[in-house]
Amino acid sequence: MKNNRGEYPISFILLISAVILESTLLYKIKISNVIPDLSLIVLVYIAYRKGSMTGQVTGFVTGITEDILSLSPMGLNAFIKTFIGYIYGIIQGNVFVDPLLMPIILVAVATLIKALLLAVLGVVFPIPQITTHFFTHDLWISILYNSLLAPFLFALLNLIKVLKPGEKEIR
């Protein structure tokens, strides 16, 4: 039996705290207008640990929170984070995640997927902020920044018992 107790509340608390930190403290350590996408890193971790159902639901809630705090149109980040949460949930149990290299690769790919989805949605819906921002040097800094933070955050998140996969999921 899958042990789900507390995984959703803990995930929501972690992700929403990450979004609030992005909007306040992390702004002070930005590099060339890029702040680390803490919520994306945490979402990747949760999705790969707990599967696509948890990944997509927590992704959706995180995205909505970002949409509320940002000037972005409602639904933009919800779409992106739901998609990433689902996709990364699929790899649960199929990929061995070592403490260093895989977190870097997983988060780098997630940042790239986010940028691609932003670009696509920016074309479909008229969002002026996005069309001027695809594949600029900020994207590469963002990929580098997020991926370098990933191993540290993954190591920290490994300490949270409720986010560890249940018995059935390990098999």
Partner 1 sequence: MNKLNYTFFKHRKGYVFLVLLISSLIMLGISSRGFVKKPKEIGKSLFSYFDAGITGISNWFGETWNSISELKRVRDELASVQEKLLEYERLSRDIIELKQENAQLKEQLKLSKSLKYKQIAAEVIGHDPVVPFSSIIINKGYKDGIKREMPVVAYKSGLKGLVGKIVLVNRHSSTILPLLDPSSYVAGRIQHNRYEGLLKGQGSGSPYLIMEYVKKAALDTTHYGDTVITSGLGGVYPKGIHIGRIRSIGSKSYETSMILKVEPIIDFGNIEYVFVLKKEDK
Q: Rounded to a whole number, what is the distance in angstroms from the first to the last CA of the chain?
A: 12
- Residue 37 Cβ, how far from partner 1 at the closest point, in Å? 7
Q: Is 39 among the residues that bind partner 1 (CB under 8 A)? A: yes
User: Is 117 a binder of partner 1 (CB under 8 A)?
Assistant: no
Binding flag, residue 11, partner 1 (CB under 8 A):
no
The residue from 53, 97, 157, 162 that contacts partner 1 (CB under 8 A) is: 53
* Alpha-helical runs (H) found in 32-164: 38-50, 52-69, 76-90, 101-124, 128-131, 137-157
Q: Which residue in 8, 12, 23, 108 binds partner 1 (CB under 8 A)?
A: 23
Give me the residue label for tokens 């042990």. Answer: 3
Helix (H/G/I), strand (E/B), else coil: 31? strand
Select from 37, 7, 2, 8 the least CA-distant residue to 21: 37
Residue type (1 letter), 169: E
**Nearest CA among 1, 80, 5, 2 for reference residue 43:** 80
Q: Per CB under 8 A, which region of 15-23, 101-109, 149-157, 163-171 contacts partner 1?
A: 15-23
Q: Which of 47, 142, 147, 163 binds partner 1 (CB under 8 A)?
A: 142
- Which residues of this chain interact with partner 1, rule CB under 8 A? 19-25, 27, 30, 33-35, 37, 39, 51-53, 56-57, 60, 63, 65-79, 82-83, 86, 89, 118, 121, 125-130, 132-133, 136-138, 142
